[in-house]
Amino acid sequence: MWDAAVFAFATLFASSSQQNWTELALKFFPFVVFLEAPFFLLVTTGMVKYGLREHLPHRQRERYPSVSCVITCYSEGEDVRKTIQSLSQQIYPGYIEIIAVIDGALQNRPTLLAARGARSLLDNTPRRQLIVLPKWQRGGRVSSLNAGLSIATGEIVMALDGDTSFDNDMVRNATRHFDDPGVVGVAGNLRVRNAARSLVTRLQALEYMLSIGAGKTGLSEFNIVNNISGAFGVFRTQFLRNLGGWDAGSAEDLDMTMRIKQYFGRHPDLRIVFDPHAIGHTDAPDTWRIFFRQRLRWDGDMFYIFIRKYRLNLRPRLLGWRNFLFVVVNGLVMQLIMPFLIVAYTGVLLFSLPLGAVLGVLAFIYLAYLAALVFYFLLYVVAVSERPWQDLAYLRFLPLFPVFAFANRIHCSFSIMMEFFMMSHLDSSMAPWWVLRKTKF
């Protein structure tokens, strides 16, 4: 088998050299450098900066603000007990108010009963309170968040998914950033809880490490965090209320992040922080069909937010120059335009070059991407990860990741087209159609 593989690669590179390998590589070179390399350098610089800085997450603090955890529940059933239990057992001396908002409680009785039955989990846990808030008619995720926000008493409010559990030091690590009066939001770190289920969950676990754990750590060092995850977002309660709470519609997490950033241009001291040690664990889609259906919504929502809703608000005066440039490069170019460039580039290769040359160029791209990926992953393990030995086990899946990422980019272009022509955000599972179709966008 090894001899056959060596022979195949020798044939591959021989074919490529016959078609002027150097010329083909130079044609590809600007495509990588001008689009991928600057972002790669920015994030890796941020990770190095984070790793060299002294971290004191366990230091004694002068005050521990009260925290309201708003859990949005719809069809989690007994899984909501895991979330409530993980919050009740937090190593945090301050007061924690757990608000479980049951959306569509009339038809979602199992989740309602599970949340009510979880009150026993708070026995012998001082300074913890569970409030179960049933919303009898379904109104969607934003409706649940605003309902929870309306009764929250904590100085800090957390927006959490009902199927997400947390490390017992999560609240302590997340809230410490609010000692800085300029911090208005903290993005929590998410890991895949069911990673061992299948190959697609393994690859998503690796993707979460690279894009969330590593990527947001690097971006946070420059105050350009791209998104506060909807499954795990932490906010200063009064600031959130001054904004009017969450806005109706799809992609409420990216929407809230953009609304907060509208103040950065006029108030440059405001910050959104990412804490890689504030850990939440969530279940990822365990089949390819469910995975691509999820990404159809996620990728389409980016077009909805950046183009349909905020295209007139993407201005340096509102966002500040730093976040304006980042949104243009990362949000518009890399997320919305690059998938189509990749599709077009691949199509040009397939239709204009011999098969051997195409395979040679793709092999060159793959190896270059894999080499950068290995460096990026190892830097994350050394400088950022709070579970380095556990994460190192994913090193063996890195050779598959370039193919996984390429498939994601191809599918992303399809998702954007679906949003462009079909307005797919109006059929989101995050809210019923009668809610989404009454929104302005």
Query: If you search the block for the tokens 């366990």, which residue do you land on?
Result: 58
Domains defined for the chain, CATH in brackets:
2-51+323-436 (no CATH), 56-286 (3.90.550.10)
- Which residues of the chain have a pLDDT value below 70? 1-34, 54-60
Predicted local distance difference test score (pLDDT) of residue 7: 47
CB 39 within 8 A of CB 334: yes
List Cβ neighbours of 376 (8 Å cut-off, separation of 6 or more): 40, 43, 44, 210, 214
Predicted local distance difference test score (pLDDT) of residue 8: 44
Predicted local distance difference test score (pLDDT) of residue 34: 65
Predicted local distance difference test score (pLDDT) of residue 30: 52
CB 337 within 8 A of CB 299: no
Predicted local distance difference test score (pLDDT) of residue 364: 79
Q: How many CB atoms lie within 10 A of CB 149?
A: 21
CB 417 within 8 A of CB 304: no
Predicted local distance difference test score (pLDDT) of residue 20: 56
Give tens-digit pLDDT for 414-430. 999 999 998 888 777 77
Tell me the angle at which helices 288-303 and 199-208 cross, rounded to the nearest 10 degrees. Answer: 30
Alpha helices (H) in 139-267, listed in sequence order: 141-151, 170-175, 199-208, 215-220, 237-242, 252-261
Q: What is d(CA 213, CA 361) in angstroms, rounded to the nearest whole number?
A: 31
List Cβ neighbours of 53 (8 Å cut-off, separation of 6 or more): none
Predicted local distance difference test score (pLDDT) of residue 12: 46
